[in-house]
Structure 1
Amino acid sequence: MDPTTAAARLVPGHVGPLVRALFVSAEDDPAAEVADDRPVPVARLVAFRGEKPALTDEDLERLAERLVAPAVPAEAALPLAGALARTLAALAASELDDWHAVRLRPGDFAQRMRAAVPDVEHALTDDGRALYRAVLDVLAVHILLFFTRRSDFVARTLPSETRRLAELAAGQDGSDGDGGGGEPVFREAVPDGVLPDGAVPDEEAPDDAFEAQYARDVTVLHNHLTIFGIDLAHSPDSWPLDAAYLGLQCERGQPETSGPPARERRDPGPQAPPVPAEQALSGLDRVLVRGVAGSGKTTLLQWLAVGTARDELPPALSAELSGRVPFLLPVRRFASHSGIPSPDGFLAAMGHPGAAGQPPGWAERVLRAGRGLLLVDGVDEAPEDDRERLRTRLREWTTRYPGNVWVVTSRPSAVPEDWLAPDGFTELRLAPMSREDVAAFIQRWHQAAAQQSPADLDRLGHYERTLLNAVRITRDLGRLATNPLMCGLLCALHRDRRGYLPSGRKELYDAGLSMLLERRDRERAMVPTDAIDLPRQPKIQLLQKLAHWMLVNGRSEMGRDVAVDTLARHLPAIPDAARQGDAEDVYRHLLNRTGLLRETTPGTVDFVHRTFQDYLAARATVQRHDFTLLLDHAHHTEWEDVIRMAVALARPDECAQLLNGLLAPHAGVKAAEARHRKLLAAACLEHATELDPEVRRRVQRFTRDMMRPTTPAGARALGWIGPIVLEMLPDPATATDAEAYLLALTATSIGDDMAIDYLTGLRERPHLDVRAQLASAWRKYDTERYAREIIAHLDDTELYFPVSDPQELHALRRLGGRPHLQIAGRFTPDQLIEGIVAERLTRLWLSYDLGVPMDWLTALPRLETLLIGSRLPRPTDIPEGIEVVEL
């Protein structure tokens, strides 16, 4: 490829953000406090040096690959990116400071960069060397321009150089192509926007201006979270994302092992401990994130969108996402925009207010330049028949627009395992909140409530302490508090009811509706502001009609006109509402005063969370005695929660009808779907308050033979049924080692302390896979009981014991320590030194970035091997004599 043509593709909007990622920001720069007074060495500005570099060598290589992606064909990109990465890395040893660098011509600065790594060009072809020099010339302009913009001293003392660099970068169109370090060739300056004859308009200027505004808009649109019931009388429903966001954790879909390192094993083995989402996402450009309702899937995408728009990303993500343009695409809105949109329709599908003002072809140009961050939210909210079309479109997009980053979310059972794996997607799962996460959420919730100076300020501390204790010791509450939505609801109800909490899921939802529909309206205004004052029950009845329409029509939102028409049809049957206003008035009242509905875009409405929609739809279906509707759709994954809630709401004879119907043959249902229906019947048993014992025995009889999983995926899938499955699993004493491992997977997928009793039957197994799986599940259960009944009995030969919090570490110390430990949570060196039995430890596996130098390892005299997780930055200051193994 002609070097001039290649360099011309490196437009400022692409190169500038990537160059900024090479250097520390002013806030993080140790030299920032003196930057206004004197020059700063270039070596101190780069982000890939020091004790805790923000960019690793791998990050630098990925950044170089992104840089050259628009400029060269795929086959030439890798060697060129490698050469650039080595050249950029040499800046860490540069003797120049920023002031003297800016005084150089860009061509001379590029020549100095090449001279620092003279052997780099030897591995390139003649064409490769020409490309390398052309691209480096472009980079030199933007690096020097960055120096002028980060330092007031440089800009003030070198005004002509600063102005000239800005003009060069703005008009840059490639290099002279001679490979000799000369100045790049630039577009002719055009006064007053008048184009010379035969010239084409420059699209970059309007694109840059629009992108700047778009980044601000993204922050405004998505920088908020709903935290239920912080202070319904005096506070807004949403809170700033950066203040309320609780770091989510992910598990790999194809997990690492919790036994010895993967290279020493023949199979992937038990799952590795969850890691922070930014660590799990680092280095991935195609990801499918699975998570249950309320687990934070949308929140994660909002956080990525806002962080990218602000260019305020954690170091693990900055190299990959800095400078990208985020598009947060909610799948539920596709149907109202003529199906899956094309790039020009992205903003409309997002509900972006400036959609009509985007420059023609802008989104297409962003994707073709490989600068997009595509956040596709909620595959499960597409009708089942449309999901394959969505997968086909994703395949087309990723093929047509290489270099972009894709993050797709879905509920776990909505699409098959490895649904997008053939298209290069890695699967992650949002992990249930750990005990520490739940405690942190409860504390943060009450701190936020206290900041509002509420009337019950003096009681909030007591509420916080009693709720923390209740969640820890009450099994039913512990089972409910597994995701941010449920934790928020528990906090709000606990406060609203002055320390009393319902014990079951149905009771929790009923209480939540009561709180949102009654306390909210009562406390926000002493008198109605819209001439409508509805009791709780009529509100619920009307909301049920909307939820039922969405259920029957397979939608997660509905048009405003459809909502009004639906209410109009049902108002005559609800006199309390009909006499207070027409359907339009009632719709506005439900929208503005219930806290359950929202207008996501002009003309469309949905529920604030899918959980409430499903629960209200189940209530409506049970009231209509429409169990045939439920049974006709029981094999569709999006109906699972509705059916489970319907069982909780139904009378005993209706429960029996539903469960018998799930077991019975059903026309048009495939064998795999029939199996799914039977498992759903088993999952429903725990929700049935009263049930004919014969029906219960029949369900157990039909499903008992299905409780012998044959694959790891099948074993984990049984976990969604809940604790009831423990009653149907076979006796582990009769299982082979391979079967015992699968049974351990199933039992440890059930986050309930009831599982411990079953797992005691597996604790004496010598097979490493079984022992490793039991060890890796510790964080899900009561620390002391699990340590006493499981951990203490596991043979420690070649077994790594994961510790995710100080309580687990001290429990191991009381057991005498272990020779192999896996650090799977946030610790300080002092905590580890205090908790580890140094006389026993010989191997230490880091699955979590401690973020500190490793010289503290001198306190562990018998330590022989340090293993580093594959996605962690390489630690520094490791004492001599310790072998480092990178996994």
Structure 2
Amino acid sequence: MEPAVLGGKLVSGLIGPLVRKLFAGGGPGAGLVDRPVRLDRLVSFRGERRELGEREVRRLAGRLVRDALDSPGEPPFPPGEEDAVAGALAGRLLALGDLDMDDVQAVRLGHRELAARLRRGAGAHGLSTDAGLFLDSATEWACLHVLEFFTRRSAFVARTLVEQTRAQAELIAKVDELITRVPRPDARDTAFERRYLPYVAERYDQITIFGLDLRDSPDRWPLEVAYLSLEATAEEGSLRPDEPALTLRVRAEHALRDHDRVLLRGDAGSGKTTLVQWLAVTAARDGDRVPYVLPLRTLIRGGALPAPAGLLEVVGCPLTPPDGWAERVLSAGRGLLLVDGLDEIPAADRHRVRDWLLALIRAFPGNRWLLTSRPTAVRPDWLGPEGFRELSLTPMRAPEVATFVSRWHAAARAPEYEAALLDALRTKRDLARLATNPLMCGLICALHRERRGYLPTGRKELYDAALTMLLARRDRERGVAGVELGEEAQLELLQRLAYALVLSGRSEMEVATAEGIVERALPTVAVPGDARAVLHTLLLRSGLLRRPEEEVLSFVHRTFQDYLGARYAVEEGHLDVLAAHAGETGWEDVIRMAVAHARPGERAVLLRRLLAADTPRLTLLALACLEHAAALDPGVRAEVEQRAAALIPPRSPKDAKTLGEAGPLVLELLPGPDGLTDEEAHGVTVAASLLADAEPAGALAVLRRFREHPSLVVRRQLVGTWDRFDTRQYAEEVLDHLDRTDLILVCTCHAEREALSRMRPWTRLRFDGDRSLSEIIDVTPAHEAVEELILVGTGLRGFVGDGAGPDSAFPALRTFRFELAPYVSPDLGEYRRLFPRATVIVMGRS
């Protein structure tokens, strides 16, 4: 038995008499009128009439320790520590008089916490482990008897009842105050909200894609189809001054879960308004908050911003609430106020809007507020002092784009176009760079469907439609006032900025540099105002520019920069400049867009310059330019196609390697599988595999087209390139569709073994690295159907460790091959005993 446990049991019988001596027999009474009975008034060794001195307490503690040591059985601690333990115990008991609490509080505390406070008040040092355990046990038993003593006093019972009565009275008073603050809902309020919440849920359950006038594409979509959960980020302070700021990532719809006030920034078309509608509809359906959707461009039309009672009328709600309803909702903290479009009102009105917001927040605390804006409308931390947290919507990633495209086609009832568009988004880099927000994704989907599954011949029409929508139609159709620049003026300024960036080989420029470019262009565009004001308007309203830092400017998409820079280069006749830079990878898209903007004669000149270089890469660039050249000299077109035909499709792995060296541009040009020989199909898959590191999404899109190809050499290429891609995605989109005949699947890591467990069964498998039998069985679907098993490792050690027989686990196994490390000398008989019905091949003899 542990010494402390034995000592504790002995102490339990001895501690009672000691405790009774520690406390005065009489006492100050119940203390019902004056004050609580403090412990320092109860102990017998304090006050003017002491019944027990400190010396007597130490004597009693020493006696208790000696009695414990003299008890039958094993001593609770080693000899020689008796005096030290007794002194420490006496110190803890004397500390009872130092506790700032009364008897009722002590009982509520419990004996273990009371003992812990005594330990903190009078620690013990230099004791052995067993002595320390005995001391702690004795202290806890003493505290247990102390509390027992308190509960048997008649004064304690009275005090407890008084404390309970007082606590109940305080609770009743607080509840009454709460009821006064939060009045019970009026029956008229409840009836109105039963009409208002369904109205909100229905009104905002559709979104409009502004600026689209395509014949077969509806401009309104159900919210549950169109809404996409996007990510938002916030810069948080670092833990140390010398560390960079931390980036916090949250789902945008969860922005108000941890903060009641949020300023959400996002570029044009990033989904801010759609998020506002989603939050409104969700709140209306859940019924936990009363949502207000408040477009600022609508609120400021009447001049004075509305009081709470007028909010619904201003935004066009046809329902009339009971008098005072809005104030009652906001006073109770039940409101969800979604204020949309700070950037859509004139700069002069923004301070007025801030004052209006802050007045409402201070008058009605406890509600939730979301304010949306484009990134550059107001300075950082504009509402930080008022407790607003700033979040920024992030661009859509490839999985989110795929989800959006799938939902769009489901809503449009056009599923037959979905696969082709997803394939184009994976293989065409400039298109993928454009599809980074819901607005542009919607435009691409609509154009693709309008043309019956084909994007425009040359993507000029796509960019033109996007620019028209962003620069003019979207703001006009949304009713945004104060647009000071026309579409042509904006294009002229934007393309000059873009060309300056293209020439410098950069994607960002100083704001001062941009102001200089705008200032030189002002006489041409005939726009009133100074360069700073015009650039600010362009930055705010075009949707194409952003300021990643305070004094830095860039385009929101590099593809717009290349498109507009090429437009300006062609207008200025800079074909020699374009041709001189054609060998630089950063100019590929500029060259292609220049061909799109050029006149037929200019196109011929530029393409001949590309062919004159006589390199595979520029020949392929010329071929890629043909899709942008609707009108072109037939002789030039034929020459480009003839030169490219020698490169595409590749007819051997060597040709494929040469093609792969031309870069990701190749992925857009790779054909197949229809019309290709087996050798050409193999060459295409090799070329795509070589480009997997540079452009994994595009390479995967090409290889996916060959997953049902019958050629063994093609299928082996598809199996062998697994490690270049995302393991799970490649398994789902390629490997799990292959004809398994004569194929061996190799698993070299945990991620691949995990993916194997989710695929259809494979009959021929190879595992690299020492794996146990149970591990292999766990990740192998239908392991009883495996016909060939190859293990690469150091031997049998650990392979059979769970008692299972390998032969019974793989009853259909016909071939077992163990490839050992060169330094291992195998026992062939041992392997044959494991798999008596299979052909056993052991390789790697020393």
TM range (shorter): 0.3 to 0.5
Q: What's the TM-score once normalised by structure 1's chain length?
A: 0.39
Scaled by the length of structure 2, the TM-score of the pair is 0.41
Bigger relative CO (Cα 8 Å, ≥ 6 apart): 1
